[in-house]
Amino acid sequence: MKKIRITKRTHYNPCFWTALWNQQYYEAVENQKHDSLRVRDQKVYTLNLYNNEVQQKKTDQVFFEKHLGVVNFNENDIEQFVNRNYPKDAEEKLMSIEKRELIIDFENHFTAFEKSPAYLNLISLVKDKRIKNLEEKGNIATFLILHNLRNHVIINSFVEFGKQVGSSKLEHFIHMIRILLDSEFMKNLIYRYSIGHWIIFTSKEPFPLIDSPICKNNGEIFCVLNPFQAISINLNNPTNQILYKTVDNINQSMQIKKILISNTYREIVFTNESQAEMWKKSNEWGKRRKLIQNKKTFSELIAKHNSEEIWEINAYANRL
């Protein structure tokens, strides 16, 4: 029997995206000469929230968590899951299930995300410098939705919450798959994102990439797409504009720095070392480190900031 290879390190930000923060690789993508370059070998500068160090690392060494997408469950977990989700047919279903210890690796779902037009459009943006049509706008909207589902903070927070109420890590991934397979739900969510008020910001100073990049607050979304483009979507202000508005050469204000630092839970990736050192010395960074050090769980941090996404996903799960 062929031995199944289990993913040891799950990258919640894919390496091909993080690699854009290597200046040489970014320029190669601009000129469509990147196919021969290994994305996992590209070096970037990282600022770690816990050890407070700026280091140069390969993209394979950042934005990952061991066994994030791996679920171990045994006979007891199976019985709890069936009894909780299928109370009327629990006995019949349990009789038909082979009860044994199992391991499920959800890495294939994350890989499928990365091969979809939603993620590949991140590369097109670097080459084209713009969203060319409504199809590409829909791809970006889909990326924002899909990437938030694999957010390590949300996954870990659900796992922690699940332990309190007796549900397993498996249930979070099952709910995630149900969301993805519900075409009507996904279509409505993509449409809601697409008709929001879109602004694409460009900057001469590189935007950094954080570990939890889909920043949400009261119906507003902010996400850095690559070192020189970021997007803001106001879902509370639907518009009839065809694509989006552009704000060029934005001055990276204190507000943008606050948004990115307040959504950082582990580390930030930069294009250059000097920018990383500057952010390390900022008051916002010091405050974030103090907050992180005083919170022992992801659930506490989520409760402190941007909890709305947790409840949106949880509400979906509860209606199934």
The pLDDT, as a whole number, for residue 60 is: 96
Residues 6+ apart with CB under 8 A from 170: 71, 73, 77, 81, 104
Which one-letter DSSP state was computed for residue 67? T
Instruction: Residue 244: count other Cβ atoms within 10 Å of its Cβ.
Output: 18
Residue-level length of the chain: 320
The pLDDT, as a whole number, for residue 221 is: 94
Q: What is the pLDDT along the chain (320 residues), one digit of tens a residue?
A: 445 566 678 899 999 999 999 999 999 999 999 999 999 999 999 999 999 999 999 999 999 988 777 777 777 777 777 777 777 777 776 666 665 666 777 777 788 888 999 999 999 999 999 999 999 999 999 999 999 988 888 888 877 776 776 667 777 777 778 888 899 999 999 999 999 999 999 998 999 999 999 999 888 999 999 999 999 999 998 876 667 888 887 766 678 899 999 999 999 999 999 999 999 999 999 999 998 887 666 656 655 554 444 434 333 333 33
Could you tell me the end-to-end alpha-carbon distance of the chain, in angstroms, rounded to an integer? 37
The pLDDT, as a whole number, for residue 53 is: 97
The pLDDT, as a whole number, for residue 252 is: 62
Residues 6+ apart with CB under 8 A from 113: 119, 146, 147, 150
> Hey, what are 252's tokens?
């990276």
Identity at 290, one-letter amino acid code: K
> Hey, what are 254's tokens?
């204190």
Query: How far from 8 is each of 68, 150, 160, CA to CA, in Å?
Result: 8, 16, 20
Instruction: Residue 17: count other Cβ atoms within 10 Å of its Cβ.
Output: 23
Q: Tell me if 221 sits within 8 A of 230, measured CB to CB.
A: no
Strands 245-247 and 197-202, sheet pairing: parallel
* Spatial separation of the C-alpha atoms in residues 250 and 228, rounded to whole Å: 10
